[in-house]
Amino acid sequence: MAVKACIFDMDGVIVDTAKFHFKAWQRLAESLGIPFTEHQNEQLKGVSRVDSLEKILAWGNLELNSQKKIELMELKNKWYLDFVAEVTPEDMLPGTFDFLKSCNEAGVKIALGSSSKNAILILEKLQIIHFFDSIVDGNKITLSKPNPEVFLRAAREMELEPTECVVFEDAISGVDAAKSGGFRCIGIGDPQILSKADRVVESLANIHLSEL
Ligand code: G6P
Ligand code: MG
């Protein structure tokens, strides 16, 4: 079936902010005395802020009350936003702008499917928000990836079926979400980590719309 829309995850697909999430979570984990590795970080990619904190606390066998958890999430987000403040269109990952442009020129719709509550701010900083027909972010969904809600909602907002859309993801949880929602999924990153994707490429510079 011809592709009618591309649904992009944001962090790690469109923009190199995944490293900022990692640094901010690592700083938080260290402040709590919890070791935190890049391998563990793979399990946080695509996962909501609250679910990420719960995973880190579980790794450290730490139980905290809900007020303390809110404070920690605010602190992590503050550190993360300090990095985001420096984001410019230069931080877009390779191929992003050209891929969005080719979708636009071919009449293929464009959506965002991100768990982040900071998505609109970042799309504005990248100066690409005008490309998007639908933006589904962490403020609109109740169930985090690997639940397919974020992508199903994007398809619904565009009045399309999952089979008419292709999802682009850099996270294991995001690939799982796309596949369980009935979408084709292109992984961005390491083929060994994203083995459940239909195809894996290094970046959007390594794939053309005509290949979908
Ligand atoms: C994305 C990222 C995660 C992040 C989540 C929530 O899915 O991959 O690393 O935790 O969004 O982001 P937020 O900006 O709302 O804290
Ligand atoms: Mg991502």
138 lines ligand 1 (CB under 6 A): yes
Q: Evaluate: CB of 76 within 6 angstroms of ligand 1.
A: no
Within 10 Å of residue 192's Cβ, how many Cβ atoms? 7
pTM of the model: 0.94
Q: 2 C-alpha to center of ligand 1: Å?
A: 31
Q: Could you tell me if the CB of 162 is within 6 A of ligand 1?
A: no
pLDDT attached to residue 41 = 93
Q: Residue 14 CB: number of other CB atoms within 10 A?
A: 27
What is the CA angle 140-77-15, rounded to 5?
70
Which pLDDT value is given to residue 83? 96
At 2 the pLDDT is 80
3-state secondary structure of 137: coil
Residue 126, SS3?
A: helix
User: Which parts of the chain have pLDDT scores under 70?
Assistant: 1
Total residues belonging to the chain = 212
| Phi, psi torsion values for 100, nearest 5 degrees | -60, -40
- Report the nearest atom of ligand 1 relative to the CA of 73: 16
**124 token code pair:** 């504005």
pLDDT for position 1: 65
